[in-house]
Amino acid sequence: MIIKIKVKTNSDKFKIIKHRDYWLVYVKSKPEQNKANIEIIKQFSKIYGKCRILKGLKSNNKLIEI
């Protein structure tokens, strides 16, 4: 399954809010040195199993494959 996500960094805790067209993902990490992407992959892997970022490594808008 491929999901569109929008990432908000520097949040108090990790959370996912599902909207109709995309998922809004709040991460604790800063968008420096790939830390936010690593947190996204770790958290999604815990919840949904194996995942990877298909598109948007340097953007707030990403495509994730679960």
Q: For position 25, what pLDDT does the model report?
A: 96
Q: For position 15, what pLDDT does the model report?
A: 95
Q: For position 63, what pLDDT does the model report?
A: 96
Say how far apart CA 44 and CA 23 lie, in whole Å: 12
Topology of domain 2-65, CATH: Conserved Hypothetical Protein Mth637; Chain: A; (3.30.1200)
Domain ranges in the chain are 2-65
Residues of the chain with pLDDT under 70: none
For 19-35, give one letter per residue: b (16+ CB within 10 A) or e. eeeebebbbebeeeeee
